[in-house]
């Protein structure tokens, strides 16, 4: 039994969620008394690969070829399965990112592994059947899932595990498996990044607003508050349905589920579908002029007040605090 972790790169560098998943995989490897190998696919600088040792990967398989410069789930799954076979890994860990969601089932099917995606904490490895707590019912519940197969795949939700710097060394090796031609049918034409700021699923702080803002022209103050906090912006379903904000910002049961340290909800009443998507947030602040808004029932801190009055003053107060 050894553990393999896939380290997804974004434009050639690793985001925080990668170090989370490496820290997580290292903690599992330690409890299984085995070592952790990372696999990186695409062009990543040597220094970034070596830095994976800080989080416990004692070996890095580096796959860098022209065919695999950009993510194609079919081909990447073949490479990861080949690597698992080569090093004899029975457990493969990756991030439950958008790419991870497209990749994990393909990897699991190739090695006939049970798959637990959306893991939210360390698994129980006390028996051969690893047991994983995973998010289900869009944040309304957790499903405790037992992986009964010999090989196993776990996909970790972002912001679910802390970074653990172990400070170890790593060796980087070139790995060059054969890629079946059929795996390269999908071709990436373009990658469009709509934000150069922190992205919503990875954000540690999220500033979210709803219909209480009255119109898209009023989002300036939400963006200002997000900027001073280094936060991502989000919205409720009625707001994205009305086209005030893009669908990718819609948090809730039929949007995305987030798990930041701090979720600030402004002018959102707190429908059950929205609450489902934010229940994994560590701290929730609600600002709403209606003291009866259901959101206050699940909030840690609340301000009853008009967003147009409170938000600019809150932004100023945070600026002042950050200035000290």
Partner 1 sequence: MKILVCISNVPDTTSKITFTDDGTTFNTAGIQYIINPYDEIALSKAIGLAEGGQGTITVINIGEANTEAAIRKALATGADEAVRVNAAPRDAWFVAHQIAAYAKDKGFDLILTGRESIDYNGSQVAAFVGELLGIPSVSTAKKIEIADHSATVEREIEGGKEVLSIPLPFIAGTAEGVAEPRIPNMRGIMSARTKPLEVIEPIEVPVLSKITRYETPEPRGTVTFVDAGEVEKLVDLLHNKARVI
Binding site residue list for FAD: 211, 267-274, 288
SS3 label, residue 76: helix
Tell me the CA end-to-end span of the chain in Å, nearest whole number: 51
The sign of the CA dihedral 281, 287, 289, 292 is: positive
Contact between 159 and 121 (Cβ < 8 Å): no
Q: Does 98 bind partner 1 (CB under 8 A)?
A: yes
How far is residue 222 from each of residues 6, 97, 213, 225, 314, measured CA to CA in Å? 35, 25, 9, 5, 11
Judged by CB under 8 A, the chain residues 183 through 242 that form the site for partner 1 are 185-197, 199-202, 204-205, 229, 240
Binding piece for partner 1, criterion CB under 8 A, among 24-32, 47-55, 108-116, 170-178? 108-116
Binding piece for partner 1, criterion CB under 8 A, among 35-43, 48-56, 171-179, 302-310? 302-310
Q: Does 123 bind partner 1 (CB under 8 A)?
A: no
Characterize 104-132 residue by residue with b for buried, 16 or more Cβ atoms within 10 angstroms of its Cβ, and e for exposed.
Answer: bbbbbebbebbbbbbbbebbebeeeebeb
Judged by CB under 8 A, the chain residues 62 through 91 that form the site for partner 1 are 71, 73-74, 77
Q: Does 101 bind partner 1 (CB under 8 A)?
A: yes
253's CB contacts (< 8 A; 6+ apart) are 138, 139, 140, 272, 273, 274, 276, 277
How far is residue 270 from each of residues 201, 292, 293, measured CA to CA in Å? 20, 10, 7
Tell me the number of residues near partner 1 by CB under 8 A.
Answer: 101
Name which of 174 and 190 has its Cβ closer to partner 1: 190
Judged by CB under 8 A, the chain residues 134 through 193 that form the site for partner 1 are 135-149, 182, 185-193
Q: Does 243 bind partner 1 (CB under 8 A)?
A: no
Judged by CB under 8 A, the chain residues 1 through 40 that form the site for partner 1 are 10, 15
Binding piece for partner 1, criterion CB under 8 A, among 39-47, 83-91, 127-135, 162-170? 127-135
Judged by CB under 8 A, the chain residues 282 through 301 that form the site for partner 1 are 282-286, 296-301
Q: Minimum CB separation from partner 1 for residue 249, in Å?
A: 11
Name which of 167 and 192 has its Cβ closer to partner 1: 192
Q: Minimum CB separation from partner 1 for residue 7, in Å?
A: 15
- What is the DSSP secondary structure assignment for residue 9, as one 8-state letter? -
Q: Does 273 bind partner 1 (CB under 8 A)?
A: yes
Q: Minimum CB separation from partner 1 for residue 322, in Å?
A: 9
Angle at 121 between CA 120 and CA 124, to 5 degrees: 130
- The tokens for 153 are 């795949």
The sign of the CA dihedral 20, 26, 29, 34 is: positive
């Amino acid at each position: 039994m050894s553990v393999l972790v896939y380290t997804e790169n974004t434009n050639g560098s690793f985001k925080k969620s990668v170090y989370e998943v490496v820290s997580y995989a290292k903690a599992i490897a330690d409890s299984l008394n085995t070592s952790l190998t990372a696999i990186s696919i695409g062009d990543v600088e040597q220094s970034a690969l070596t830095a994976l040792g800080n989080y416990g990967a004692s070996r890095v398989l580096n796959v860098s070829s022209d065919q695999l410069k950009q993510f194609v789930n079919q081909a990447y799954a073949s490479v990861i399965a080949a690597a698992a076979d080569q090093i004899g890994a029975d457990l493969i860990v990756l991030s439950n990112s958008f790419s991870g969601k497209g990749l994990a089932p393909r990897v699991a099917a190739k090695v006939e592994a049970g798959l637990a995606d959306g893991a939210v904490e360390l698994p129980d490895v006390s028996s051969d059947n690893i047991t994983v707590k995973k998010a289900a019912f869009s944040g309304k519940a957790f499903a405790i899932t037992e992986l009964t197969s010999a090989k196993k795949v776990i996909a970790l939700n972002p912001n679910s595990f802390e970074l653990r710097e172990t400070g170890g060394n790593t060796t980087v090796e070139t790995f060059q498996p054969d890629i079946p031609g059929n795996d390269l049918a999908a071709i990436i034409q373009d990658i469009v990044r709509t934000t150069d700021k922190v992205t919503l699923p990875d954000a540690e702080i999220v500033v979210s607003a709803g219909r209480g803002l009255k119109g898209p022209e009023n989002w300036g103050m939400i963006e200002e508050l997000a900027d001073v906090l280094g936060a991502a912006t989000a919205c409720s379903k009625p707001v994205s349905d009305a086209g005030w904000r893009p669908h990718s910002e819609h948090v809730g049961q039929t949007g995305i589920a987030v798990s930041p340290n701090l979720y600030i909800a402004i002018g959102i009443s707190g429908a059950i579908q929205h609450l489902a998507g934010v229940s994994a947030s560590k701290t929730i602040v609600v600002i709403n002029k209606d003291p009866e808004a259901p959101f206050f029932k699940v909030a840690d801190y609340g301000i009853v007040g008009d967003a147009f009055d409170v938000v600019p003053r809150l932004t100023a107060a945070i600026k002042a605090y950050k200035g000290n």
